[in-house]
Structure 1
Amino acid sequence: MPTSPSEPLPRLDLTGDLTDLLVALVDVASVSGDEARLTDAIQAALEPLDHLELVRDGDVLVARTQLGRAERVVLAGHTDTVPIAGNVPSRTTGSGDDRVVHGRGACDMKGGVAVQLAVAAALTEPSRDLTYIFYDNEEVEESRNGLARIGRERPDLLAATFAVLGEPSNARVEGGCQGTMRAEITLTGVAAHSARSWKGSNAIHAAGPLLERLAAHVPAQVEVEGLVYREGLNAVRIAGGIAGNVVPDRCVVEVNYRFAPSKSPAQAEAYLRDVLDGFDLEVTDVAAGARPGLDQPVAADFVAAVGGEPQPKFGWTDVARFSALGIPAVNFGPGDPGKAHADDEFCPTADLHTCRDALLRWLA
């Protein structure tokens, strides 16, 4: 079972086996809002490292070198997970370098956190100054996001020339990220007893044309700085009706639009309103995407050191926060992003080694 607050903090061995480190991280349950115990364990593991200055702000922990280098790089990762679904404690399959760690957060994104910690311990004299950020509440609403809060209250802690987010990316570079927009479309009708339905107007039935339009919509594929982003527009939630014998007079359909980073939020909203013209639409949440920025010298240097062909990031990540600050940022972490939030989420040992070794090669 997950460790309880009354138990001693788990010991994180930052210089030992990477798979064991990931197992230790996964076995500390840290669902959004409950990251304190894991942050305590990370802090305890980093405190003996004399080359790092630690700053704790709530459940955000920042560790950084102060070597006076010409450039500073941020390595960031969130410590929270989506709710557990019978997948903590972890289990490990395979052997040697073919081992796989299964469990909540193994992929999204404690694998990336394990890599951060291993790099932090190994690099006492990096070629660039480094800031490691371990933050809370990434998997929930924007208002609770720890990185966003630090950006508002302590922007000096985010200052850098380049940032790497350890989000799962199959251990290859994923540039930028999509923007995301949520909106609600309200359909109205007239309530009536279902035995005399002709006296009313069914709001749920009125959603039919909207759903048909969404189903027929062909998402765009947009090239941005050499990477092709596939957009998406989907109904993700529907609510209506108050009882089994009442014709509903109201139905709300929530849609999610994932748009290419070449679009601003205003352009994305204009596009959404055009596609859904004729329906009562209210935007409830929006986050801008991030252009890849791989043409920046420091980003090009990183890609060259890591190797492989950069891919677009499908989904929104906190690279967008750094992009908004004018800091080029990429996603680079272990694990398959398609397994993020899945009940059978896992992370291969091979990916852990690939990411750690690439970062050491670039920064040593």
Structure 2
Amino acid sequence: MSRSPKPRPKAKSAPREGRRLPADTMHFDDAGRVRALAGPGHENFAVLEAELGVRVEAPGGGQVVVMGEEARARTDAGRVLNALYARLGEGLLVDPAAVRAACLMSGDAPAEALDTIIRVPRGASFAARTPGQGEYVRALKDDASFDMVFGVGPAGTGKTLLAVAQGASLLAQGAVERLVITRPAVEAGERLGFLPGDLTEKIDPYLLPIWDALRDALGQRLSDKFREEGRVEVAPLAFMRGRTLNRAFIVVDEAQNATIPQMRMVLTRLGEGSRMAVTGDPTQTDLRRGEPSGLAHALGILDAEPRIAIHRFTRADVVRHGLVARIVDAYERDDALTQGREGS
């Protein structure tokens, strides 16, 4: 169900200062929001300039001036600025990653459709930053069509954060009774005996990324409250055996590190009134050499199931740091070369 973003020409360098350029002036009601739109040190405007080959200035009074030789580039920049200004009005973050993502959005659709925003009551809001993320969020929210959603792809695509955010939203709304997040502790299984502390203290370091995502979604206070009440549970995959999880939203993270038997076990924990999101990157398995990944196996045999959605992210969906997408691309090229040499 994934699709590639609309291709666009390579951005030209921003016009040089010192000569008069065609300009479009935009007027916004909230001058404070325009300052947030520009970002600290105008870092957001700098990204927009680099992406679209324009110059952007904010002279004050809620005005933004977009300069550039090409009318198309100025129009695109205006569309992005309007979308980001609206994003700020929704209480959503605008940072360099959000600017890059808005530049990738196709011009014939709004950058922030309501069905691609996850709102957590008393917590944060999360908006899809790429078309691929938008499709993933729609699947996560579509309980009428899907009971299980797979989100697979490279690091930095938001697959875990968005799944945790959707679970946190449902929990805060009272739509589910529990949020259960689990991941294989591959290294923990090998080295737990050498770590200090009781079982919880040994396992906690492997679950820190999950607690980080929960704090992003719920905030520290609500995250701690739900944990104390037992409404949020974060545990290694092995702790799921023998259980039936009713009226819960379940997130299986780092699923590429589950073996086939482990994957079969956790997928069949789904109980009455529950939904599940499974995330992972099949190219980054930490299993022993020769051990097949349960995620890749599950994707192969469950692809045609009607109540299961499989969304595949690409490097175009990487929203961490601009460098991350290029790193992912470099490794994918190297993998292709390695496979070519092995096949010859």
TM-score by length of 1: 0.28
TM-score by length of 2: 0.29
Give the structure, 1 or 2, with the largest relative contact order (CA under 8 Å, sep 6 or more): 1
User: Which protein has the bigger helix share?
Assistant: 2
